[in-house]
Structures are given as C-alpha cells and as structure tokens.
Structure 1
Amino acid sequence: MSRIAEVIVLAQDADEVMEPLTRPDDTRPWRGSFSEMRPGGMWGFGWGAEFVQMRPRSGLLKHLESLAWPRPETLQVLIHDEEDDCFGLWMIHDGRLTEIPLPRTRRYWNRPHNEDFPPDPGILRRTDSGPLDRPEEIEGGDRSRPPAW
C-alpha cells in the first residue's frame, strides 16, 4: 500500500551507529536507507529517509531501539506519515522507542490489523487547528507504537 512517510533520526555521537543504515541491506527487517543531514557541513547529527510504502518501513523502530547508541538519551525519531498533520516524536524510555505525546495532538487508528495489509500506523492529528476531521476509531491495540513502524 502506498503511503509516503519521512523519518528523521537525531542523535549525538551516533555516526558509527547510523553509518550502516546509510546503505541498503536486505538482512534488515525494514527496507531503505538514511541520508546524513549536515546543513552547515560541520556538526550535523541527523539522518533522514523517505519511505513510499508501508511494508518497507515495518520494523524500523524496533531495529533502531536495538542499536547500541552511545548516548541513547539524545535519540529522537521524528516521523511524518503523509496523512499526519505534523511530525510525531519517539524517544527511548525504559529501553524502548516510545511515542512522546505532543501537546494539542492525538493519534487515531481507523483500521484493525489485517494479515493482508501492513499494520495501520494511525494518523496524528492536531487538535487546535479548527474543526477536527477525526477518522473513525477502533478499540484495542497498543497505542504506544503504531505497528507499521
């Protein structure tokens, strides 16, 4: 299923950890690669990737949280799915990448898990920008990590 998403990884002192993720690797659970972002050319600590479908990004957060980050307290993963109003923020808490609730936002799920399709990543909506066009919600499921990630 086509659904474009941008992912930005910010982490200090993480060049060695991220370097293998800048090359394609068929052994990873997710498909794709990151590009280093160095706007000033001197002290960048960010990497970005774009995913054009949901299947290739499945397992990305689990893979990122399994890496040996030299300063895990600085790891921030920003994700913007094409249907989101803004980027969502994930940080490591208790050894796991967890979505950090942002003020005036809410994530909605409108599809249950279906074996025929990748898991629904949900939609992150701002609650302060006029009438809220909410998708119909479903009950249940772990809201701390969209399964598609």
Structure 2
Amino acid sequence: MSRIAEVIVLAQDADAVMEPLTRPDDTRTWRGTFYEMRPGGNWGFGWGAEFVRMHSRSGLLKHLESLPWPRPETVQVLIHDEEDNCFGLWMIHDGTLVEIPLPRTRRAYWNGPHNEEYPPDPGILSRTDCGPIEWPEEIEGGDQSRPPAW
C-alpha cells in the first residue's frame, strides 16, 4: 500500500548512532536510508528519510528506540504521512518512542482488517483549528496502539 511519509530524526551527539542508518541494510525490518541535514554545512543533528510504502517503514520506530542514544532525552522523531496535516512528534519516554500529543491536533484511525497485505493504519494527524474535518470512521474507543506500520 502506498502512503508516502517523511521522517526526520533530531538527536544531539548522535552521529555515530545514525551513521549506519545512512546506508542500505537488508537485515532491517524497514527499508530506506537517512540523509544527514547540515544547515550551512557546519553543524547539524538531524537526519531525514522518505518512505514510499507502508511496508518499507514497518518496524522503524522500534528500531530507532533500540539504538544506544548518547543523549536519549534529545531524541525527537518527526513523522509526516501523506494524509497528515502536520508532522507528528515522537520522543523517548521510559525507553520507548511515544507520540507526544500536540495542541490543536487529533489522530484518527480507520477501521479495517489488518493482514500481511494491509498493515495496520498509522492513522491521520489533523489540525483541529483549520475548519471542519471529515474524520474517518474510527474503531470503537480509537486504536491508540502504535501500528506495526511504524
């Protein structure tokens, strides 16, 4: 299933941790490479990647949270799925990457079967201050789990 997503990882003193992710590696559950972002070419602590299919990013958050970050309190993962109005923010809390609720936003999840062909839906992050929104029909109570799509 095609759902283009941009992912930005911000982390201080993390060059050595992120360097292996700048090269292809068939042993990872997710497919892709990150590119270092160096504003002005002199410094930087950000890396970006684009994923064109949901299967290609499966397991990415689990992989990122397992890395030996020298300063885990500085790790921020920004994710913008093609259906989202804005980037979502994930940070490490108690060793796990969790989505941080942003003011004036809401994540909604579609109903639907999850199987090998169709991974669980990552949801849609929408701003609530931009006018009326046609929310997808949600699973009762909302699916608050982190979908394997990430």
If the length of structure 2 is used for normalisation, what is the TM-score?
0.95
Residue 40 of structure 1 aligns to a residue whose secondary structure is helix
> Are the counterparts in 1 of residues 110 and 137 from structure 2 also a CA contact under 8 Å?
yes
Give unpaired runs (5+ residues) of structure 1. none
| CA–CA distance in structure 1, aligned partners of residues 94 and 112 of structure 2 | 27
Deviation of the 1:141 alpha carbon: 6.7
**1:23 aligned residue:** 23
1:89 and 2:102 matched? no
Describe how 1:68-107 pairs up with structure 2 within 5 A: 68-107=68-107
**Once the two structures are aligned, what percentage of the paired residues are identical?**
81
| CA–CA distance in structure 2, aligned partners of residues 14 and 34 of structure 1 | 13
Q: Which amino acid aligns with 2:27?
A: T
What CA RMSD, in Å, does the superposition of the two structures yield over aligned residues? 1.3
4+ long deviations beyond 4 Å: none
Give unpaired runs (5+ residues) of structure 2. none
**1:119 aligned residue:** 120
If the length of structure 1 is used for normalisation, what is the TM-score?
0.95
> Are the counterparts in 2 of residues 105 and 125 from structure 1 also a CA contact under 8 Å?
yes
1:55-111 CA distances to partner (integer Å, 9 max, x unpaired)? 010100000000000000000000000000000000000110000000000100013
| CA–CA distance in structure 1, aligned partners of residues 16 and 141 of structure 2 | 38
**2:43 aligned residue:** 43
Residue 114 of structure 1 aligns to a residue whose secondary structure is coil
